[in-house]
Amino acid sequence: MKKLYTFLLALTTAVVFAQIPQGFTYQAIAFNAAGSPVANGNVSVRISILNNAVSGTNLYTETHSKTTNSKGLINLNIGQGTPVSGTFSGINWAVNSKFIKVEIDPAGGTNYTSVGTNQLMSVPYAMTASKIDVSSTGSSIGEDITESKSSNYFFTDKYDGKVYVLNSKTGLWSPQAYNVTYTNNNTTPEVISKSGNVYFTDRYDGKVYIYSARTGAWTSQAFSDGYINNNNTSPSLTTITNGSSLFIDKYDHKVYVFNYTTGTWSSQDFNIGYTNNNITPTVNASGSNFVFVDKYEHKVNVYNTKTMEWKSQEFNITYYNNNLSAPDVSSSNGNFSFADRYDRKVYVFNSKTGNWTSQQYNVGYYNNNYSTPGILWSETN
């Protein structure tokens, strides 16, 4: 069996203001059919970059003819081989995951055998920085950043019952069908956009649809048909600047968050007491994260975009028993804090660690003036 054992994958480094090399280094050990290293021999290697999956579209293929050392080691500069199909410079590393397929002929011919396909992780994607090139005459960082920006376009075809989005980076159109009842009523769903994302609510199918500029795909989240049955409306969508979004389903008593980074949905239950009182909890955003207080469960709930997790911190039920209120939550740069005057603790959610932490304070605050110590922020770089 022909084998190739990969043991190192590294990106060629570059100075920030220099032209970034179109390639990255790849080292491997070649084995012959007997399983022995091909020492000081000529081998042929074929490299392919695939889009989004092991079986994804082939974006680029190149070949290399190399001579191994005494240990069977070969060194390649992927991106600088002999092109077979596609162009290495044309690969959009910023859109979708990329996979590398390696094939080898240890005899140095063209009888290639696949030795594996693996996902490229973060290292090669530094080449996306090559879009900002300040080496040319008359160029500036500001100009290049502005020129590198792109806009996605969308329109609604109410006769086919579809919303179409053009991704300016990939040049591909992506349609999403909505319930034809809109067309029968001679209306269309309201479509909004922010940060390259496109959103609309299909109240007839009971779904919120989002086109993610980052993943280049549509995704949906169902909501309770109680919205339609009770007041013929749909839940409102709240968006923050980085493209993440949320909506509250008061009939299923859940808060749903769309994570812009991963293109996935996550939910957190809130107490049905809100629904019985015909209200919903108030949700606030800071940085990339969301927070809401469930005063009926006496919890502060935070969604951390980086860890894709909800983290809850209980506060003393006395808040609820006294006046049906909840502690005030303050925020800064994705972090949140509140003081529990009944347990005499200050709680802080740290977005870096993704966890809550607490510090007790002296009971004198409670006994003297029924207040809590003030919590202040000092921002760091």
Q: Kindly tell me if the per-residue pLDDT of 106 is higher than 80.
A: yes
Q: How confident is the model at residue 15 (pLDDT cuts 50, 70, 90)?
A: very low
Residues forming beta bridges with residue 48, ordered by sequence position? 61, 101
251 Cβ contact partners less than 8 Å away, ≥ 6 residues apart: 223, 224, 225, 226, 227, 230, 275
pLDDT tens for 128-154 read 544 444 444 444 444 443 444 567 888
Q: Which residue has the tokens 């069977």?
A: 72
Phi (first) and psi of residue 335, to 5 degrees: -100, 155
Give how far the C-alpha of residue 56 lies from the chain's centroid of Cα atoms, to the nearest Å. Answer: 20
CA 127 to CA 22: how far, in whole Å?
7
Q: Kindly tell me if the per-residue pLDDT of 1 is higher than 50.
A: no
Q: What is the pLDDT of residue 321?
A: 59
Q: What is the pLDDT of residue 300?
A: 95
Reading across the β-sheet that carries 113-119, which strands appear in turn? Answer: 82-85, 57-67, 42-51, 98-105, 113-119
CA distances 102 to 34, 64, 80, 117, 207, Å, are: 19, 11, 15, 6, 42
Q: What is the pLDDT of residue 353?
A: 87
pLDDT tens for 302-357 read 999 888 889 999 998 776 555 556 788 988 888 999 988 888 889 999 988 889 99
CA 316 to CA 359: how far, in whole Å?
15
- Give the pTM: 0.57
Contact 123, 11 (CB under 8 A): yes
CA 44 to CA 33: how far, in whole Å?
14
CATH number of 3-134: 2.60.40.10
User: Domain locations in the chain?
Assistant: 3-134, 150-279, 281-381
Q: Kindly tell me if the per-residue pLDDT of 10 is higher than 70.
A: no
Residue type, 13: T
Read off the tokens for 337.
């804090």
